[in-house]
Amino acid sequence: MAAAAGISKGLLYHYFRSKQEFYVETIRAASLNLRRLTQPDPKLPPVERLRAAIDAHLGYVHEHSRAYATIYRNGVAVAAEVGGILEEHREAVMRYFLQNLGIRRPPPVLRAALRGWILMVEAASLDWIAHPELGREDLRELLVASYAAMLAKALEIDPRGARVSKVMRNVRKESA
């Protein structure tokens, strides 16, 4: 590991007590980098903001496919702390969406829909790594459409989300 990082083993162990600790901190840094790359641009209209974030995510997945697959398939098996990092990452993404929707405390159905969509993006990304014949743009549009469908169904189940309704109208109009 030290050689791959271009440093001596002594330096590596000066900062990290073990390979596992180095692994966990590497994953934490990757998560923070991915969050930074996918942070929505508030200057863009909602659907373009979503497309840009998905594009950034898929770019990261493409560029770091081996690491992404390792972390999301069996990172927790290597170090239990990875589960916490992945959950922290998912919660940060959830906050991006709720902020975009203008919602502080989501109704349970909206929270479940967003959480399900986030996990679907992870699963679709893993499938794309294994089966890259699906074009990146096609995958992006599939994810955009599934986001709109999840929000629409959540709103149908619990219509109290007036702000969500307004965003949904914009997403439907822009993605058509």
For 133-148, the DSSP string reads TS-HHHHHHHHHHHHH
Cα Rg of the chain (Å, integer): 18
Q: How far apart are CA 170 and CA 61, in angstroms?
A: 28
Tens digits of residue pLDDT in 87-114: 999 999 999 989 888 888 888 999 999 9
Predicted local confidence at residue 90, as pLDDT: 95
Token code pair at residue 144? 């955009």
**pLDDT higher for 171 or 115?**
115
Domain count, the chain: 1
Predicted local confidence at residue 76, as pLDDT: 78
CATH number at residue 114: 1.10.357.10
Closest CA to 121 of 34, 45, 44, 30: 34
Q: How far apart are CA 167 and CA 45, in angstroms?
A: 10
Predicted local confidence at residue 12, as pLDDT: 53
Which structural domain, as residue segments, surrounds residue 97?
2-175
Token code pair at residue 162? 């007036």
Q: How far apart are CA 7 and CA 114, in angstroms?
A: 41
Tens digits of residue pLDDT in 121-170: 999 999 999 999 999 999 999 999 999 999 889 888 887 765 555 555 55
pTM: 0.82
For 59-111, the DSSP string reads HHHHHTHHHHHHHHHHHHHH-THHHHHHHHHHHHHHHHHHHHHT-SS--HHHH
Tens digits of residue pLDDT in 29-86: 889 999 999 998 989 998 899 999 999 999 999 999 998 998 888 877 778 888 999 9
Tens digits of residue pLDDT in 5-29: 555 555 555 666 667 777 787 888 8
With cut-offs at 50, 70 and 90, classify the pLDDT of residue 3: very low
Predicted local confidence at residue 103, as pLDDT: 85
